[in-house]
Structure 1
């Protein structure tokens, strides 16, 4: 992929293993991926595809039974795979690479005031005095849309709604002044209206601060509005990568076709959605060929026999599917995802029209 932007973070042939009841589970299977300065990259895929596990290698937050078995993670040239102890991560975790998790209640201390939780981060990462930190904390609270921030500074997390708590978690991440911000399904626990507000907030903050953003989600609808690039994950590997336009308008992997077909906006008149048949493979076993083949109506014999290399579609777009081999039969993507933008716009137009009736 050619780009003029600098690579901030890089995963190179990363394999992550977990020891589970005396068995080895390979959660990440040789992923290589670069994250560029100021870009928003979305990691998408079903639950269990490895999205969160991959990003935990960037902050040294794998569970105790997990390890990077091979490969390398580098941040601005520094090899992060050499950092073993929590204190080794102090200069990276939070201050350089910060994470917003999906459930704000697991990120906030229930017995500390909101204000104290933001100020302690500012004091640690920005070296400010207590008085300066308080004023900065109120500024951050205002920036993320907390009404009457000065009064609410001394309140506790239980006094905030779910959406407001997530705004506070974002304020704490901002207070770290990160270079890379990982958003791990940050809207999943919120209702649809609040989700949209949080997405808009993250977009405006990214535009203002220009941090590199890694946005983890299973919702491709969210991706369309926030991402520059998209990496589609399945069974611990990236099966397709491209710009958001590549993935939405010219997807090439059958798994990406299935994810797009599952968009809520494409439900039929009865509200019935396409669902992907079958289940993902066991990660305890070695996977040969295309991991998605047993669930795909487009699978060929070779999909069960040989691992798939990357096939370049354009300079910005590649996919791991034998359908891109010159000798493969010509297969068209499902009719359901043709003219995707037009279909979604039409569906939204009908909904908006219905609201006025």
Structure 2
């Protein structure tokens, strides 16, 4: 088996924002590697830092945000040292592209669909207008737009939500990026269209051989598309591993809570599980494990000292004192026991239904 090549390295990354004369630390010392050809899912609650983290890869942090410490290394280049749009130009779009959650905020409502795709192609690939138009139509067809040549001069409002998301995907792929960042691209879509977009992304990855970073809070989506998972909480990665590692042998109490919240595991006669409390404020320094105040498994040390990242296996790591040899044994919630078998049954029926719905478009 050929070892995958590492293309992106994040080391000790700290990202801060200045908000009303106060400092908010959105990313708190993250280490992460991305490997060529994989699908890495970033999961966690809203505000955990998923989108902020990926914005450091493309130089798209808001004006009040900056990398305070650490490195973002892409193919040997230290991106945290870039300080001008010109430096980012050769990376943004051409090396890394982003698909955002709401296609209407990504598309210009007063420009035709064709103009928005060809603009990217002429700028980054040096194609003529006629060449760019043909490439654009080919891309539109590839992402599933019927009668692409006729729809080329339509405006975004003339497309449905699912079709607009397909166009955003086409624009992102126009420069043949090596890394595609998908920032919750299916959240605003209904279940039928979501299934189609996920299937499209999987097919396109095989065809174009790009690496994918998929940001989501939907663990059901993660189970369908990801190779590897990084769980984020309060600006840190608290568990990382293969999909099998994280779904079937989770080790951090926060991961247990996220999995317990899966709607697929709910009992019709019981309330859906929810995580008690709220995430901590990132305006102040956090002592210990950030999840401790919300965790029924918290020990005294969780409030006093930040846990290291413990190694579970060669592919699996978790940042919790429960993995210290001195810690008492903790039993994970009963609802996620035999999770593999439970999800297999649910996803088997669910996948069949989605496939049927998708094919019926």
* 1:176 to 1:351, Cα distance in 2 relative to 1, 3 A: closer
Structure 1 equivalent of residue 58 of structure 2? 59
Q: CA deviation at 1:67?
A: 0.6
Q: CA deviation at 1:345?
A: 3.6
Structure 2 equivalent of residue 99 of structure 1? 98
Q: TM-score, normalised by structure 2?
A: 0.95
C-alpha distance in structure 1 between counterparts of 2:176 and 2:270, whole Å: 43
Uncovered stretches (5+) of structure 1, i.e. residues with no partner: none
Map residues 13-52 of structure 1 onto 2, 5 A cutoff.
13-52=12-51
C-alpha distance in structure 1 between counterparts of 2:353 and 2:247, whole Å: 27
Structure 2 equivalent of residue 129 of structure 1? 128
Structure 1 equivalent of residue 81 of structure 2? 82
Structure 2 equivalent of residue 268 of structure 1? 267
Structure 1 equivalent of residue 234 of structure 2? 235
Superimposed CA distance per residue, residues 102-141 of structure 1 (whole angstroms, 9 cap, x where no aligned partner)? 0001111111110111111111122111111111111100
Tell me, what secondary structure is at the counterpart of 1:282?
Answer: coil
Tell me, what secondary structure is at the counterpart of 2:57?
Answer: coil
Tell me, what secondary structure is at the counterpart of 1:265?
Answer: helix
Q: TM-score, normalised by structure 1?
A: 0.96
C-alpha distance in structure 2 between counterparts of 1:176 and 1:77, whole Å: 21
C-alpha distance in structure 2 between counterparts of 1:25 and 1:202, whole Å: 34
Superimposed CA distance per residue, residues 34-61 of structure 1 (whole angstroms, 9 cap, x where no aligned partner)? 1011111000000000000000000111
C-alpha distance in structure 1 between counterparts of 2:80 and 2:206, whole Å: 30
C-alpha distance in structure 1 between counterparts of 2:59 and 2:327, whole Å: 42
Uncovered stretches (5+) of structure 2, i.e. residues with no partner: 355-361
Q: CA deviation at 1:346?
A: 3.6
RMSD between superposed Cα atoms in Å:
1.8
Q: CA deviation at 1:343?
A: 1.7
C-alpha distance in structure 1 between counterparts of 2:75 and 2:352, whole Å: 50
C-alpha distance in structure 1 between counterparts of 2:166 and 2:287, whole Å: 43
C-alpha distance in structure 2 between counterparts of 1:9 and 1:224, whole Å: 23
Structure 1 equivalent of residue 183 of structure 2? 184
* 1:353 to 1:244, Cα distance in 2 relative to 1, 3 A: closer
C-alpha distance in structure 2 between counterparts of 1:347 and 1:131, whole Å: 49
Map residues 337-356 of structure 1 onto 2, 5 A cutoff.
337-347=336-346
Bigger Cα displacement from structure 2, 58-67 vs 335-344: 335-344
Q: CA deviation at 1:272?
A: 2.9
Say whether 1:304 aligns with 2:328.
Answer: no
Structure 1 equivalent of residue 284 of structure 2? 285
C-alpha distance in structure 1 between counterparts of 2:350 and 2:192, whole Å: 15
